[in-house]
């Protein structure tokens, strides 16, 4: 018998909030794992070859599931997902990868790409007709300050073409636009495994062009490359993007993207655990400042923002 008592609604909201927190925790861990995978694989192959096989393996793993489980795929639903793949995956990943390739310091690239919540905030009004309130803006700025504190030690400006610094900005804006378009689009009802499959294969097609320009699209047959690609495909792609879209369906773009602020400090913890890289006091302080910003954004979220969509 269904409980229609007043206590049932708060209990349901609490369960939805708990699920969202679990999704966001997993998102932080798996999003950060991408940097670890690139570290493994980048010693064995060019960056676009890694991105090509990361996307292709992910898409092929999802393809049988996408074709057999869920509603039938129709072009009017597939084409928008191809666009999102070009924006959210190809644009974002290629933006920071190219910047690093041209010599932009990795720490600075991480800072720019983690301005995603601010990019979402700026673009929410023209795309969704929504604007962040004062507390959400404050939380976003505090989160960004935490990233500055945690990563400042790694920032050194080298001899790099000035325009190369705009590449991670374009990549971040690309992901922000894709995030907001998916929130607005009626095709958001497509199951995550289907949309992610289409987006991965679309990104792979685009990365194949760049990989071919770099030299070859054939995989490098050694343990370092294969292990790195599998890590990137299973954890950093299937794990993080699935959690990203699942969380997006249960909350607002502002809240979900705000947790990305925790990825640089968490990546530093990953590196400390896996490679013995030292942790500094500034990293620890930055981690807590970023967490404070995320909490402010989350607590400023309207009650209707946390809900389950099945």
pLDDT of residue 271: 73
- Return the domain boundaries, the chain: 28-302
The residue whose two tokens read 């292990």 is 227
Q: How far apart are CA 308 and CA 306, in angstroms?
A: 7
CA-to-CA distance for 175 and 198, rounded, in angstroms? Answer: 16
Kindly give the parts of the chain with pLDDT less than 50: 1-2, 187, 303-310
Q: Which has the closest alpha carbon to 136: 265, 256, 263?
A: 256
Structure tokens at 190: 């497509």
**What is the reported pTM?**
0.70
pLDDT at position 52 is 92
What are the angstrom distances between the C-alpha of 5 and each of 9, 12, 14, 94?
A: 8, 12, 15, 52
Check residue 41 and give its pLDDT: 80
User: In this predicted structure, what is the pLDDT of residue 208?
Assistant: 93
- The reported pLDDT for the residue numbered 86 is 80
Report helix, strand or coil for 275.
helix
pLDDT at residue 159 in the model: 65
Long-range contacts of 17-20 (CB under 8 A, 24+ apart): 17/306, 19/250, 19/308, 20/247, 20/250, 20/251, 20/306
């Amino acid at each position: 018998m269904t409980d229609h008592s007043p206590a049932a609604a708060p209990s349901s909201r609490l369960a939805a909030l708990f699920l969202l927190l679990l999704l966001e925790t997993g998102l932080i861990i798996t999003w950060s794992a991408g940097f670890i995978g690139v570290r493994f694989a980048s010693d064995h192959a060019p960056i676009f070859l890694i991105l090509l096989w990361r996307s292709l393996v992910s898409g092929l793993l999802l393809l049988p599931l996408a074709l057999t489980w869920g509603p039938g795929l129709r072009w009017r639903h597939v084409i928008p997902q191809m666009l999102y793949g070009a924006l959210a995956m190809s644009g974002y990943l290629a933006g920071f990868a190219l910047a690093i390739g041209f010599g932009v310091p990795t720490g600075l690239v991480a800072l720019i790409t983690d301005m995603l919540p601010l990019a979402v905030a700026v673009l929410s009004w023209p795309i969704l007709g929504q604007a962040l309130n004062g507390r959400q803006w404050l939380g976003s700025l505090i989160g960004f300050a935490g990233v500055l504190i945690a990563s400042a030690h790694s920032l050194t400006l080298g001899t790099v073409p000035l325009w190369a610094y705009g590449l991670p900005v374009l990549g971040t804006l690309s992901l922000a636009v894709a995030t907001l378009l998916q929130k607005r689009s009626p095709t958001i009802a497509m199951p995550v495994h289907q949309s992610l499959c289409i987006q991965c294969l679309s990104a792979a097609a685009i990365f194949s062009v760049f990989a071919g320009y770099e030299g070859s699209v054939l995989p490098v047959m050694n343990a370092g490359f294969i292990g790195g690609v599998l890590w990137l495909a299973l954890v950093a792609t299937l794990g993080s993007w699935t959690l990203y879209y699942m969380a997006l369906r249960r909350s607002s773009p502002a809240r979900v993207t705000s947790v990305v602020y925790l990825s640089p400090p968490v990546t530093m913890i990953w590196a400390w655990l896996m490679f013995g890289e030292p942790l500094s006091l500034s990293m620890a302080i930055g981690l807590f400042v970023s967490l404070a910003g995320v909490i402010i954004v989350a607590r400023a979220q309207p009650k209707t923002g946390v809900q389950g969509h099945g």
